Amino acid sequence: MAHKSPRRTAKVLATLAVVSLGLAACGSSSDDGDSGSGDSAATKIDCAPYEKFGDLKGKEVSVYTTIVAPEDGPHIASYKPFEDCTGVKIKYEGSREMEAQISVRVKGGNAPDIAYLPQPGLLKTLVATGKVIPAPPETEANVDANMPDWKTYGTVDGKFYAAPLGANVKSFVWYSPTAFKDKGYEIPKTWDELLALTDKIATDNPEAKPWCAGIESGDATGWPATDWVEDVMLRTAGAETYDKWVNHEIPFNDPAVATALAEVGKILKNPKYVNGGYGDVKTIASTSFQDAGQPILDGTCFMHRQASFYAANWPEGTNVAEDGDIWAFYLPAKDETTKPVLGAGEVTAAFRDAPEVKAFQTYLASTEWAVERAKTCGTGGCLTANVNVDPTLLKNPIDNLSATMLTDKNATFRFDGSDLMPGAVGAGTFWKGMVNWITGENDKATLDYIENSWPKS
Amino acid sequence: MVASLLSVAPSGIPEPFLRAESTAGKFFLMFFAVAFFAAVFGLVLFLASLLKGKRGEQGQGMLFAAPAVLLLAVGLLYPAVLTIIQSLRGKSGDGAFSFENYSAMFSQPELLTVLRNTALWVILVPFLATAIGLLYAILIDRARGEAFAKALIFLPMAISMVGASIIWKFVYQYKQTERPQIGLLNQLFKLVGLETQQFLLEAPLNTLMLIIVMVWIQAGFAMTVLSAAIKAIPDDIIEAARLDGVSGFRMFRYITLPSIRAAVVVVLTTIGIGTLKVFDIVRTMTGGQFDTSVVANEFYNQSFRYNAPGLGAALAVLLFVLVIPIVAYNIVQMRKEA
């Protein structure tokens, strides 16, 4: 009893379905961020260090980074002196999906020449593929001279691969100096003072909340919460236990970690303390990290813990200064005798063995580059791992403050732990675990979940 | 595939052209591909013309099928076998052979959630989309303004999944009740005096909210196909049924539905397969967070983010196994009708 038409439709449809399903698998994206601004009167640098790599005129080096507009412009501008010296053209490509895409590209034989890896843990994963080229001796010499303490973050199994590049300091609490002055609040000097201030703000201001937070960040959702845990872990457990935790010498669900998480929970999971300007605790999970601190401006929130690079997120015209609309204080330690500082940065891994790539790696590790970076800096966030740069060159006051914190002899610096852990944890289950923790999972289940995901070797 | 074919291309061609980085390179690549296709086609035709007689005809058949079979083997069969092997070699996909990944899939709580979500999707989307499409097709059949009404529900089909997801993300947008609302749905909640809700945060409500998006897209597809099928029912059958006093629901149950059965099956199975593989909506709207992940999304996460390609491969195999019965049923149905 078949009718002609349905049958025909059926066949056509089946064909269509197959074709469309097949097509669904395709897709590619690559934007050439070729917007190198040539307006800055290029600084002349000494070209001698690059001459020994031979004649590089007309050669190209591709760079793949997480840094996208508007922050990519200043980066591209900082390559100018090198390009002028050597005649090498730097091809810049920034993508928010870089952290996930880089492995795909490396495995697929389509690796960039140089990638700015925001996590040393990712470098470890990529080195395991055997595609990362060790840094040349010239680069290593620059690193030894300019950023000796950070060399370890570019080293895997005793071999030096990647020079550190940018740096940032994470132990900051953003606040409004004017609001604090109006209400008579003092900058807390110890962790207990911070908790006391938090409670005071909550009682004084029923219309606002003391803290605002947001951990939504696309593919990387969850990372701001891992920073919270790391920062507090440094304070409650100390740097040595912190190192053991990062290296998995103690399990992820160790009591020391549980203590730190509980301490974070006192703030982030207390509906009286969060989430200023956005709603209840769960809104932290869906608020983007860029938006998260903004309620400080309208007074619905008083404090926001975020790294130095958050400076770039304030609207244009905001006076970011110690006596201005917005400023940041150091996330206090247990007492005033210790000063742990959490920070992070990128490292530059190379995937092509060629003189022009080596020359560029060497340039990026040089003081000339770090100075040029400070000079061509746009909205801030131009701090580098290089300790030989005069901090006064950094025009952004927060960059400046961060630079002094990084070089402070009394401070105990530690690199962002999740960035050092294996990618599957540090850029995977730690993030995801924290998202679930915010949306209701308890402390123990969260830590057990992350511990179970740690790669067994 | 194309890339790997090209990497063995004659080395005389400058590499930038093959990587198609410039406009000229892209054109070159396009012409190269077209010419390559024509050459293969010509070769097959030429060889076929050499074969004569009864045996030759058989040979011709094989020859014509050869390029397609070859491409399927290289592009489909080979990766499939590799994936299966990878799924059996531990989390990293290169260790010792074991069923570790498969047992993990059915025992780890977060992966069980993924399976539950996928089941919800596959049960709800095809039936809801088909039911809504069918109902709509019947309601507007021969009504005034039919073309416009059809266009209205078909339009979402023209929007990409990612586009639709972004639109719906705005619809579900949450702000505190006392603040001005951006989200349409929460504004409606507010208008009738309810508290605004975080639709994408509360499991399992959030999965249902995502399913609505897929139904919204697919209902138009179901409606178009089913409407065409309804129109193809011969008038004399309907006439005869009317004379016998059949109308309303009985007309639908005993005349319309049996007549368009084949089309309904195709629509259900096509949407079913598409739903099994749903990825874009979940990734765009929640990124698989808040217990909304589905198999295709988790497969991506495990393979590319959690550095567990073995587990990712196992999930891909599961997806493949789940699709097989639907495709098989579809083929059997088409055979029966033919």
Interface test with A, best of B110, B134, B157, B266 (most A CBs within 10 A): B266
Q: pTM score, two decimals? A: 0.78
Q: In a structure prediction context, what are the per-residue pLDDT tens digits for chain A, which is 457 residues long?
A: 334 444 444 444 444 444 444 343 333 333 333 333 444 455 778 888 888 888 888 899 999 998 887 778 888 999 999 999 899 999 999 887 788 788 888 988 889 999 999 889 889 889 988 999 999 999 999 999 999 889 999 999 999 999 999 998 999 999 999 999 999 999 999 999 999 999 999 999 888 999 999 998 877 889 999 999 999 999 999 989 999 999 999 999 999 999 999 999 999 999 999 988 888 898 899 888 888 999 999 889 999 999 988 888 888 888 888 888 899 999 999 888 889 999 999 999 999 999 999 999 999 999 999 999 988 887 777 888 888 888 888 888 888 888 888 888 888 889 999 999 987 888 888 999 999 999 988 999 999 999 988 887 6
Region B290-302: what's the mean pLDDT? 89
Which residue of chain A is at minimal alpha-carbon distance from B221? A13
Chain B residues touching A282 at Cβ < 8 A: 198, 201
Which residue of chain A is at minimal alpha-carbon distance from B279? A24
Q: Which fold has domain A48-169+343-415?
A: D-Maltodextrin-Binding Protein; domain 2 (3.40.190)
- Phi and psi, residue A60, nearest 5°: -125, 140
The answer to whether the Cβ–Cβ distance between B260 and A428 falls below 8 Å is no
Closest partner residue to A7 among B3, B290, B337, by Cβ? B337
Q: How far is A7 from chain B (nearest CA, A)?
A: 7
pLDDT at B10 over 70: no
* Per-residue pLDDT band at B19 (split at 50, 70, 90): low
Query: Where do the H-state alpha helices sit in A156-294?
Result: 177-183, 191-204, 223-236, 239-246, 255-268, 283-286, 289-292
pLDDT at B9 over 60: no
Closest CA to A56 of A362, A287, A406, A271: A362
Tell me if A415 sits within 8 A of A327, measured CB to CB: no
Region B311-336: what's the mean pLDDT? 88
Tell me if A397 sits within 8 A of A312, measured CB to CB: no
Closest CA to A414 of A227, A166, A135: A227
Distance between CA atoms of A90 and A38, rounded to whole angstroms? 13
pLDDT above 70 covers a percentage of chain B that reads 93
pLDDT at B17: 53
Tokens of A128: 């395991």
3-class DSSP assignment, residue A346: strand
* Per-residue pLDDT band at B26 (split at 50, 70, 90): confident
Mean pLDDT score of chain B:
85
Q: Any CB–CB contact under 8 A between A289 and chain B?
A: no
Tell me if B318 sits within 8 A of B105, measured CB to CB: yes
Domains of chain B and any CATH numbers: 2-102 (no CATH), 106-337 (1.10.3720.10)
DSSP code of A87?
-
A285-298 CB burial, b ≥16 within 10 A, e <16:
bbbebeebbbbbbe
Q: Kindly tell me the burial class for residue A381, based on how many C-beta atoms sit within 10 Å of its own C-beta (0-12, 13-18, 19 or more).
A: buried
The answer to whether the Cβ–Cβ distance between B91 and A455 falls below 8 Å is yes
Residues 406-425 on A with a CB inside 8 Å of B are 422-424
Chain A residues touching B91 at Cβ < 8 A: 455
Which residue of chain B is at minimal alpha-carbon distance from A437? B290
Chain A residues touching B265 at Cβ < 8 A: 10
Distance between CA atoms of A105 and A132, rounded to whole angstroms? 13
Q: How far is A111 from chain B (nearest CA, A)?
A: 13
pLDDT at B61: 84
Map out the domains of chain A as residue ranges: 48-169+343-415, 172-330+421-453
Q: Any CB–CB contact under 8 A between A445 and chain B?
A: no
**Can you tell me the ipTM of this complex?**
0.72
The answer to whether the Cβ–Cβ distance between A422 and B307 falls below 8 Å is yes
Q: How far is A402 from chain B (nearest CA, A)?
A: 31
Distance between CA atoms of A402 and A371, rounded to whole angstroms? 16
Query: What angle in degrees, to the nearest 10, is found between the helix axes of B309-337 and B261-276?
Result: 170
Q: Any CB–CB contact under 8 A between A129 and chain B?
A: no
Distance between CA atoms of A35 and A28, rounded to whole angstroms? 21
Q: For chains A and B, count residue pairs whose Cβ atoms are closer than 8 Å.
A: 107
- Provide CATH code, domain A172-330+421-453: 3.40.190.10
More confident residue, A8 or B136: B136
Which residue of chain B is at minimal alpha-carbon distance from A452? B108
pLDDT digits (tens, 9 = 90+) for B204-234: 889 999 999 999 999 999 999 999 998 888 8
Amino acid at B283: R
Q: How far is B246 from chain A (nearest CA, A)?
A: 20
Tokens of A219: 């593919």
pLDDT at A88: 92
